[in-house]
């Protein structure tokens, strides 16, 4: 999924109000039965007479009015005007909100600003009336959401809410009690033009909402006079046009795209322009770009200047509530990029980010407490951080937590949740292009280890063996996976867990099909052990001698003696035994 960043319009940008008031045409192809909507004017007569008309019926009817293009053009202009003053000048919202409802009575923005207006006037009845419409419109949007298949990069599925305009998407976030602080355009096969909106609540982490802006895209297509099959018109055409019209959101989008194409100087120019409006995504991207430049340069003065830019942009993003920026800057401090004296500044930033449920910060803090880096070693605290990051759905955290539980030096008790989390990683998923994605074989391996040790529930050797076989069968030439499975099934002190015949088969398949593995002494060592465990000491000695012969370089100093000990063991006709998994 390729995505391009778009940030909310600053309310102070009055020049954008006129420039973006383009005709807006909502697509007529509605999901479900293609029935003929009731006439909009007929419905409005009923609404004015006090009838209860549901928001979906009103929306579908409005899409079909002959002058919908003109109405929506007017609605867009009014929304932009209202959005600029919604916090500071509530008394001016009355006329704007009324004009919006004249254009489209189902306008979420219109009812929202009128509720604000009447609330300021302390007119409880009018306020309640418009709030009731807000809830009806919100319910329609939620009920009409679409959920595409997960993309090829992650297994995440998002519900996309229909939005008449980009401003309505921002207002929907405000109706959730959020302050919009950032947004990003996305495109998928099922949602060609979507808007991700980041909203900051009064307390807690930034929330993310997704909106389908198909109507906006269709409007721009018509405005450009493009035919439906025109390959030259795509979402980037829309963003490019808006960027040229000084839309800061589009400027951020162009900057993000140019950065992905390694056109860094051009990207910086666009992102700087976008960041002047308090653009969260632009600030974050600039921080990352300048840090990369600091890493690449050999000039000390340049490096210091780039790190200063990095710091400034991260601080701007932190001011807007970005836990990602808190995490990013915290890691830079802890890694000494701002000097040894300032290392201590990193830990509070990570803790602040973790308090906002940033899974990367939680994982990092878990690692620090696990290893005793920057803090005193504390396994109980490490476990809590790993578990919290895992509960938030971070796959790396889930596998790290499993490894932590399996570490015998930590003496951990079972956590049944780990099985559920890892099993979700092993489930085959399909992308929005209906392509099967491979399962996570490391998660399978870990599930086997946990079941064998009783760390995900009661000890279950059969389940462990099933997971081992599943992992090896799914990735027969993955040296790391097959080696660990074969080693465990060959040398485990739990004799009921051993399956040496199977272990020798999968190691032979690996070593015959993976030339790189045949040059690694640790894999040869495992292969030899499987031969010894099945009574074939002749092959065990031959393979183990290869391992010893290869391990001559300095990088093998820590294993050379162990390999020689195993060779002598096999010469005596003995097998290996170890506390694994």
Least confident span in 21-25, 175-179, 243-247, 396-400 = 21-25
Q: What tens digit of pLDDT does each residue of 264-299 get?
A: 999 999 999 988 887 898 999 999 999 999 999 999
User: Are residues 420 and 402 in contact, defined by beta-carbon separation less than 8 angstroms?
Assistant: no
Preceding peptide of 581 cis, ω within 30°: yes
Q: Is residue 569 part of a domain?
A: yes
Q: What is the reported pLDDT for 431?
A: 47
User: Taking 70 as the threshold, does the pLDDT of residue 439 lie above it?
Assistant: yes
Phi-psi region of 128 (alpha: psi -120 to 50; beta: other; left: phi over 0): alpha
Q: What is the reported pLDDT for 191?
A: 87
Q: Which residue shows structure tokens 């919100």?
A: 138
Q: What is the reported pLDDT for 8?
A: 35
3-state secondary structure 445-496: HHHHHHHHHCCCCCCCHHHHHHHHHHHHHHCCCCHHHHHHHHHHHHHECCCC
Other CB atoms closer than 10 Å to residue 235's CB: what's the count?
19
With a CB cutoff of 8 Å and minimum separation 6, the contacts of 17 are: 77, 80, 81, 84
Structure tokens at 408: 């015998």
Q: What is the reported pLDDT for 90?
A: 94
Q: For the sheet containing 179-186, what is the strand order?
A: 3-6, 179-186, 194-200, 207-212, 160-162
- Which parts of 197-276 fold into alpha helices (H)? 214-224, 235-244, 248-260, 264-275
Which CATH number do you get for residue 552?
1.25.40
Residue 572 per-residue DSSP state: T
Q: What tens digit of pLDDT does each residue of 517-548 get?
A: 999 999 999 999 999 999 999 999 999 999 99
Q: Is residue 565 part of a domain?
A: yes
Q: Is residue 491 part of a domain?
A: no
Q: Which residue shows structure tokens 């007529």?
A: 28
User: Are residues 512 and 549 in contact, defined by beta-carbon separation less than 8 angstroms?
Assistant: no
Q: What is the reported pLDDT for 11?
A: 37
Q: What is the mean pLDDT of the chain?
A: 88
Angle formed at CA 472 by CA 467 and CA 477, multiple of 5 degrees:
160
Q: What is the reported pLDDT for 429?
A: 58
Q: What is the reported pLDDT for 23?
A: 33
Domain boundary among 123, 143, 163: 143
Least confident span in 78-92, 95-109, 152-166 = 152-166
User: Taking 50 as the threshold, does the pLDDT of residue 4 lie above it?
Assistant: no
CA distance 93 to 81: 9
User: Are residues 415 and 456 in contact, defined by beta-carbon separation less than 8 angstroms?
Assistant: yes
CA distance 289 to 379: 36
Q: Is residue 261 part of a domain?
A: no
Distant-in-sequence contacts of 172-175, Cβ < 8 A, 24+ apart: 172/108, 172/138, 172/141, 172/197, 172/209, 172/211, 173/197, 173/199, 173/207, 173/209, 174/86, 174/112, 174/199, 175/108, 175/112, 175/134, 175/138
Question: CA dist 251 to 165, 194, 358, 481, Å?
Answer: 19, 17, 27, 45
Q: Is residue 92 part of a domain?
A: yes
> What percent of the chain shows pLDDT beyond 90?
71
Domain total of the chain: 2
For the whole model, what pTM was predicted?
Answer: 0.83
Domain boundary among 103, 122, 143: 143
CA distance 313 to 327: 13
Q: Is residue 97 part of a domain?
A: yes
**Residue 199: beta bridge partners?**
180, 207
Q: What is the reported pLDDT for 81?
A: 95
CA distance 495 to 490: 9
Structure tokens at 62: 């409005």
CA distance 494 to 9: 63
Question: CA dist 526 to 210, 224, 569, Å?
Answer: 49, 65, 14
Q: Is residue 19 part of a domain?
A: yes
Query: Which residue from 152, 207, 145 is spatially nearest to 174, judged by alpha carbons?
Result: 207
CA distance 39 to 449: 65
Question: CA dist 372 to 23, 266, 375, 396, Å?
Answer: 60, 43, 5, 20
The confidence band for 225, taking pLDDT boundaries of 50, 70 and 90, is: low
Q: What tens digit of pLDDT does each residue of 290-312 get?
A: 999 999 999 999 999 999 999 99
Its sign, for the CA torsion 424, 426, 427, 431, is positive
Question: CA dist 201 to 8, 321, 431, Å?
Answer: 16, 9, 32
State the average pLDDT over residues 339-348. Answer: 95
Beta strands 436-437 and 160-162: pairing type? unpaired
Least confident span in 102-111, 404-413, 436-445, 487-496 = 436-445
- Give the CA-trace dihedral at 52, 56, 59, 65, to 10 degrees: -80
CA distance 518 to 508: 10
Q: Is residue 9 part of a domain?
A: yes
User: Taking 50 as the threshold, does the pLDDT of residue 54 lie above it?
Assistant: yes
Question: CA dist 482 to 381, 541, 556, 567, Å?
Answer: 33, 21, 21, 22
State the average pLDDT over residues 125-130. Answer: 97
Greater confidence (517 vs 233) lies with: 517
Tell me the residue range of the domain where 19 lies: 3-143
Domain boundary among 113, 143, 173: 143
> What percent of the chain shows pLDDT beyond 70?
89
With a CB cutoff of 8 Å and minimum separation 6, the contacts of 514 are: 477, 479
């Amino acid at each position: 999924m390729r995505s391009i960043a778009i940030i909310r319009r600053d309310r102070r940008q009055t020049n954008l109000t006129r420039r973006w008031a383009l005709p807006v045409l909502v697509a007529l192809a509605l999901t479900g039965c293609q029935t003929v909507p009731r006439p909009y004017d007929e419905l409005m007569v009923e609404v004015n007479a006090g009838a209860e008309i549901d928001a979906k019926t009103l929306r579908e009817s409005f899409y079909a009015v002959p002058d919908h293009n003109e109405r929506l053009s007017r609605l867009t202009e009014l929304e932009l005007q209202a959005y600029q003053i919604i916090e500071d000048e509530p008394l001016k919202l009355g006329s704007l909100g009324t004009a919006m409802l004249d254009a489209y009575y189902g306008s979420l923005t219109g009812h929202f600003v009128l509720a604000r207006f009447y609330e300021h006037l302390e007119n409880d009845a009018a306020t309640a009336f418009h709030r009731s419409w807000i809830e009806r419109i919100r319910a329609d949007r939620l009920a009409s959401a679409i959920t595409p298949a997960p993309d090829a990069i992650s297994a995440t599925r998002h519900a996309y809410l229909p939005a008449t305009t980009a401003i309505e998407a921002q207002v929907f976030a405000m109706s959730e009690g959020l302050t919009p602080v950032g947004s990003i355009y996305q495109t998928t096969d099922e949602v060609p033009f979507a808007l991700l909106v980041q909203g900051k609540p009064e307390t807690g982490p930034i929330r993310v909402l997704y909106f389908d802006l198909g109507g906006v895209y269709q409007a721009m297509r018509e405005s450009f006079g493009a035919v439906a099959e025109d390959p030259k018109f795509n979402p980037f055409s829309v963003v490019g046009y808006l960027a040229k019209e000084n839309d800061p959101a589009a400027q951020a989008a162009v900057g993000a795209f140019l950065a992905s194409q390694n056109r860094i100087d051009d990207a910086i120019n666009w992102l700087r322009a976008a960041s002047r409006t308090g653009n969260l995504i632009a600030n974050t991207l600039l921080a990352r770009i300048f840090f990369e430049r600091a890493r690449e340069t050999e000039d000390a003065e340049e490096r210091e200047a780039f790190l200063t830019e990095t710091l400034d942009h991260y601080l701007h993003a932190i001011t807007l509530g970005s836990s990602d920026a808190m995490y990013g800057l915290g890691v830079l401090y802890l890694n000494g990029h701002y000097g040894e004296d300032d290392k201590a500044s990193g830990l509070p930033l990570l803790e602040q980010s973790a308090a906002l449920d940033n899974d990367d910060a939680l994982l990092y803090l878990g690692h620090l407490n696990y290893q005793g880096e920057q803090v005193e070693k504390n396994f109980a605290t490490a476990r809590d951080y790993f578990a919290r990051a895992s509960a938030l759905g971070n796959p790396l955290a889930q596998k790290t937590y499993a490894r932590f539980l399996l570490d015998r030096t930590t003496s951990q008790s079972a956590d049944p949740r780990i099985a559920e989390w890892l099993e979700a990683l092993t489930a085959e998923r399909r992308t929005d292009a209906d392509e099967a994605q491979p399962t996570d074989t490391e998660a399978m391996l870990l599930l086997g280890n946990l079941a064998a040790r009783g760390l995900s529930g009661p000890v279950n050797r059969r389940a462990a063996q099933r997971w081992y076989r599943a992992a090896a069968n799914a990735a027969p030439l993955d040296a790391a996976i097959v080696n660990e499975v074969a080693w465990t099934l060959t040398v485990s002190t739990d004799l009921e867990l051993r399956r040496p015949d199977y272990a020798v088969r999968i190691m032979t398949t690996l070593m015959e099909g993976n030339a790189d593995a045949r040059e690694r002494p640790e894999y040869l060592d495992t292969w030899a052990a499987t031969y010894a465990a099945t009574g074939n000491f002749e092959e065990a000695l031959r393979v183990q001698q290869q391992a010893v012969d290869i391990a001559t370089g300095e990088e093998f100093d820590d294993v050379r003696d162990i390999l020689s000990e195993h060779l002598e063991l096999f010469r005596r006709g003995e097998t290996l035994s170890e506390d694994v998994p």
